[in-house]
Amino acid sequence: MANKDELIGATRNPWWRAAAIVAALALVATFALGGFKPAKDKTKPLAQYSAGQRVQSGAMAVTPVRAWVAHYRPGGRMEPNQLYLVLQADIENLTGRSYSGFGYPRQDLILVSAQREPVQADNLLMADDHGVVADLHPRLIQRVDLIWKLPPAYVYAPRQTFGLFARDYKAKAYLNDEGAWLQGDPLAKLDLPVQDLRDRLVAP
């Protein structure tokens, strides 16, 4: 059995800390997967938002703009045998630091599948120049396109549900006492009409 000094040494090992963080995130994800399923009891249903309505999740504010399905990614070429679902949204970083667009936005703003499970976007691009989203800076609203590559058997739906997770700041989130914004429970549903652009050759 490990003594006290060995346990203290293990907690200072960066590999051990990384493994602990991964395990904690996996646990959170496991609990969150069922969060967008219909409630089986008297739990209060999630708030629902439409295009143009701003919702704050803690680490960011999201205003969905529109959604569409097309044979091309924004800024890309037409791919006749491929379909993409795009959610365009305005995102504002509400924290005091810049963070990666592939962090909170991609992890928290998700597509709700037919099985009511969250599906992360395959890509996240700037809406203006179609460049890959790098850092999102505090208090700067940036319009982005979240892109899902759809399976060949995708059935077009005139409306689509997206989901947003809450994210709360914990002053001592990890074993090294560092603070972090941790993903919480599902916070809201975004219900948007989906524009069918499968017959267009150029992006909207």
**Low pLDDT (below 70) residues in the chain:** 1-43, 172-177, 203-204
Tokens of 177: 């006492």
Quote the pTM value.
0.77
pLDDT digits (tens, 9 = 90+) for 82-117: 999 999 999 999 998 898 887 899 999 999 988 889
Q: Give me the pLDDT at residue 30, please.
A: 38
**Per-position DSSP letters for 152-180, written without gaps between them:** TTPPP-SEEEEEEEEEEEETT-STT---E
Phi-psi region of 92 (alpha: psi -120 to 50; beta: other; left: phi over 0): beta
